Amino acid sequence: MESQKELIHDVDWDTLIILDACRYDYFEEIYRNYLSGNLNRVESLGYSTPMWLKKTFTGSYKDTIYVSGNPFVNSKVKMKGFYGKEKFFKVFDIWDGGFDNDKGTVPPETISKTTRIARMEKPNKKIIAHFIQPHGPYLGFPESKKFFTGLNEVKSETMPKMEKLAIYLGEIASKVIGASLVHKVGNYLNLNNPSPLERIAEEYGENKLCNSYRNNLKIVLNEVSKLAKRLPGKIIISADHGEMLGEDDLYSHNSHHHLLKEAPWLEVEGVKG
């Protein structure tokens, strides 16, 4: 497999779309229903978003705007050793203002809209648009939201948005997140609890989990296909890492399984002229 990092740095793209926790095999199965282009399997450098960020974006990218639905890329504080404000020309903190409390996530249309605005405002800048989906909570399965809180003892509405979305993303399964802006939540967590995905599989079955993940991918690809029709230049669609859905009795992305480092790399031509 080619290195995703090398392609990100070497390919002359205009917009890089990142689908959080998007598996190559699921993407390859359904993308043709929404997009056309040249698809390859590439190697991500991360098993999780923080690892991917730190290993992929090792320089300065002042020619690039980051539209971020993921709090690990933000303009406010350093998160797990990565500070988006220092790396990119500008970071749009959509994880904050665009967070939908009812859905427990950032809807894909919110990322899409901000990406279009950023393109109109800065036509000569590169743009990275980081969608949360297909990562849970699953939009077609509202009951899944409860599994991604990670906290039963703490009311989610009392938590800072950055902390809350980070918990939804499952990145604090074995450690406490953040430093200066995020409260320690380890005391509230039973760190031996199964991951949200494992709990969904236990309660609803593995087929329900896989189908919900697949449907979440369809939802975001539908939005991405509409976005691609409104953006100029070369568009790349890829992922930060994959997701374990019960293979080898593993769930989420807390392991070092090879499936977590296989990412799609789809090249799409946007609007001409």
Answer whether residue 190 is part of any domain. yes
Phi, psi of 142 (to 5 degrees): -55, -30
CATH number, domain of 217, equals: 3.40.720
Domains identified in the chain, total number: 1
Answer whether residue 273 is part of any domain. no
Portion of the chain with pLDDT greater than 90, in percent: 66
pLDDT for 76: 86
**188 pLDDT exceeds 70?**
no
Three-state SS string over 179-216 comes to: CCCCCCCHHHCCCCCCCHHHHHHHHHCHHHHHHHHHHH
pLDDT per residue as tens digits for the range 191-202: 346 789 999 999
pLDDT for 164: 58
Q: In which domain, by residue range, is 241 found?
A: 2-268
pLDDT per residue as tens digits for the range 225-253: 999 999 999 999 999 999 999 998 888 88
| Partner residues linked to 18 by β-bridges | 130, 238
pLDDT per residue as tens digits for the range 19-65: 999 999 999 999 999 999 999 999 999 999 999 999 999 999 999 99
Cβ atoms of 242 and 24 within 8 Å: the answer is: yes
Answer whether residue 206 is part of any domain. yes
**Token couple for 235:** 């568009």
pLDDT for 85: 93
Read off the pTM: 0.85
- What share of residues in the chain are helix, strand, coil (percent, to 5)? 40, 20, 40
